[in-house]
Each structure stands twice: as C-alpha cells, then as structure tokens.
Amino acid sequence: MLEIEDLHVSIEEKKILNSFNLRISPGEIHAFMGPNGAGKSTLARVLAGHPAYQIVGGSIKFEQAELLALEPEERAQKGIFMSFQSPIEIAGVTNFQFLHAAYQTRKETIQEEEFDKILTQKMKQLSIPLSFKTRCLNEGFSGGERKKNEILQMNLLEPKLAFLDEIDSGLDIDALKWIAEKIQENFTENKALCLITHYARILNYIKPHFVHVIIDGTIVESGDYSLALKVENTGYHAH
C-alpha cells in the first residue's frame, strides 16, 4: 500500500527525515516510537502533504502511484487520513458542516438530510453524544472529546491508510480503552493503521504487527510488540 524509499525531508533548511525507508501493506498495524523531535509527526505530515516541508530526495508511492506530486486534498481523497495530536478549533463551523463537507469530498455528494442519517448512525455506534453535531469544531472540547471527534472522522471517512498522531496522549484509562476499542472496530484487512506514540500503553490494547523506533529522522530498529516493551524498560538511549 505504501512504499517510502530513501526519503529526505527538511524544514527551514533543517534536516528532519534522513534516508527514511518504510513499507506498509494492507492489514498491517505499525507503531512508531521515538524521542521528541525524532521525526515521527513529520512523517505523518509529509504523507498528508503539509506545505511547510521540503522533500530533498527520495520517493513515496501509495498504491504504486507517486504521492509527492499530489495536493493534500488529493491525498485525502485517495484514502490517506491523519489525526492530529492537538486538533484545532474552527469557530463558526459546526461539526455537522465540517463532516458533511469532508464526506462529500471523500465519498459522495449527498444531501444534508441523508448525511444526517449516516452521521447519526455512526455516532450511535461509537456512543458519541448527538450534541456533537451542533457544536463548533473542537471549540470548548476537552482533550478526550477532541480525540473522540478524530475517531468519528476516521470511522465516517473510512480511509485506507490512517496515521494517528499520539491519539493516546492526555487520556485517562477509560477514554484510552474506548479509543482503542473503536479503532479496532474500524480496522479491516484491506486497511492499514499507523500509531505514533511515546508509550506502549495503547499498544497493550492494539497489538501492532511492527514497531519502529525513529531517532534523528530515520528508523534505527524495527520489531514486533516486544520492542515497544523493551523501549519502555531501557529508553531510547539503548538504540
């Protein structure tokens, strides 16, 4: 599904990713761990098409087609999704308006009445209060509510490849279990999931097929779930 070869990325002339290589196939769950500033979030943003980053070299292919030439909205339409570590607020735009617009871009043109039925069903499946519809996007939302909103977006848009950037940060144990449960309910063998995290705790609920340790913009070690436990015990200095 995704093939990254010898990728080099800079921002304001500072190298962020160096000789980065990665392959992801449908049905796989990958976890990315590493210290602050290692390049984990940069990877997700580059895949999403954030304009602040300069691609110095290398290639990214999504379903065998070159990704780097595509605009961010084109990448989203092809099925790439990124949840933000700190989802932004958009005052004056309701959740319903935002999700309706996103759904029409990703899935199909649909009237508000019909979309409301789909959204209501999704929210009930996820046990998300229907009051979320009329609230402005993330405005006044708690940290947990913002993360639930990201999961709602993912379930509604049904991406092929989802990058979740620290979806577990700032959550209490009940919220963490809810997030993990809903992520797994949405996951199928034709999708791929990437979890960016500092801690192994979410991986206790969502077992990854591969764990990658990123340091100084490159993958220094890959393994299975046991690598995440090793990192928690030894820290990153051992890598």
pLDDT in tens, 116-147: 999 999 999 998 999 999 999 999 998 888 98
Q: To 5 degrees, how large is the angle CA 67–CA 72–CA 74?
A: 70
For the stretch 226-238, pLDDT in tens is 999 898 888 876 6
The full set of domains in the chain, from first to last, is: 2-87+159-234 (3.40.50.300)
In this predicted structure, the answer to whether residue 107 has a pLDDT above a threshold of 70 is yes
**Confidence (pTM):** 0.91
For the stretch 3-47, pLDDT in tens is 999 999 999 888 999 999 999 999 999 999 988 888 899 999 999
pLDDT of residue 231: 87
Q: Please state, in angstroms and rounded to a whole number, the distance separating the CA atoms of residues 211 and 159.
A: 21
| Mean pLDDT across 155-178 | 90
In this predicted structure, the answer to whether residue 239 has a pLDDT above a threshold of 60 is no
In this predicted structure, the answer to whether residue 57 has a pLDDT above a threshold of 90 is yes
pLDDT of residue 185: 86
Contact (CB, 8 A) for 62 and 24: no
- Average of per-residue pLDDT values in the chain: 91
Q: How many CB atoms lie within 10 A of CB 134?
A: 10
Q: What are phi and psi of 131, to 5 degrees?
A: -65, -20
